[in-house]
Amino acid sequence: MTDVRVICAIGRSGQLGLQGGMPWEGRQERAFIEDVERFFEITRGHVLIAGPKTVASFPDFAHDERTIVTIRSKERPEDVLSRFPGRVVYIGGGPAVWDVYARYVRHWDINTLPYDGEADTWFNPAWLLAGGAVTRR
Ligand SMILES: NC(=O)c1ccc[n+]([C@@H]2O[C@H](COP(=O)([O-])OP(=O)(O)OC[C@H]3O[C@@H](n4cnc5c(N)ncnc54)[C@H](OP(=O)(O)O)[C@@H]3O)[C@@H](O)[C@H]2O)c1
């Protein structure tokens, strides 16, 4: 069994991304710094799989303490997840990835940040209810 989880951060209205990055990129207030620290703390020692752009956004040091794997749309999610038996696997996004992998996720860790600005990518609350599909099928 693979323990599939998500950890992500959203703005107050569900903002997820802007022009390929985080909407709040560069913000130095405590909440934003702590969010990044917490992301690396919680994923340490685990598997982190994500689409190519999200993987490219991780700093080099991130690869030292966790297994980071780029996933592609041509791969079947069942095949991808079966490569990590007994591991905790975090699905790092982006949204197109969560659309497909949400049904396997048993734990969502969503940090709401004090951000009210613009975005071009949004959190979809339907992802949270998709997990039941695995047992209903
Ligand atoms: N706030 C957060 O916590 C958070 C987290 C992650 C991303 N984001 C933001 O989200 C925004 C957009 O990211 P993105 O979606 O363009 O980036 P991405 O990381 O490149 O993810 C999307 C790509 O993943 C690949 N993929 C792999 N498996 C897939 C599957 N089963 N189904 C569909 N696609 C699959 C596809 O590329 P191929 O078809 O080429 O394989 C797809 O184009 C950025 O602004 C980023 O900063 C925010």
Burial of 64 (0-12, 13-18, 19+ CB in 10 A): exposed
Structure-token pair, residue 7: 């950890």
Q: What is the pLDDT of residues 61-97, one digit of tens each?
A: 999 999 999 999 999 999 999 999 999 999 999 999 9
Q: What is the pLDDT of residue 137?
A: 45
| Distance from Cα 19 to the centre of ligand 1, integer Å | 12
What's the gap in Å between 68 CA and the centre of ligand 1?
Answer: 14
Domains of the chain: 3-136 (3.40.430.10)
Among the atoms of ligand 1, which is closest to the Cα of residue 21? 47
103 pLDDT more than 70: yes
| Cα-only R_g, the chain | 15
Pocket of ligand 1 (CB under 6 A): 8-9, 16-18, 20-22, 50-54, 71-73, 77, 92-97, 100, 121
User: Please, are residues 123 and 8 in contact by the beta-carbon 8 Å criterion?
Assistant: yes
Tell me the best of 69, 73, 79, 103 to mutate to test the pocket of ligand 1, counting ligand atoms within 8 Å of each CB and taking the most. 73
Name the token pair of 112. Answer: 């709401």
Do 96 and 53 meet the contact criterion of CB atoms below 8 Å apart? no
Q: Which two tokens stand for residue 46?
A: 């685990």
For the stretch 3-27, pLDDT in tens is 999 999 999 999 999 999 999 999 9
Mean pLDDT of the chain: 95
Enumerate the β-bridge partners of residue 48: 68, 90
Expressed in angstroms and rounded, the spacing between residue 96 Cα and the centre of ligand 1 is 5
Partners of 122 in beta bridges: 15
Select from 103, 116, 114 the least CA-distant residue to 124: 103
Atom index in ligand 1 nearest the CA of residue 70 equals 27
Tokens 């069994």 belong to residue: 1
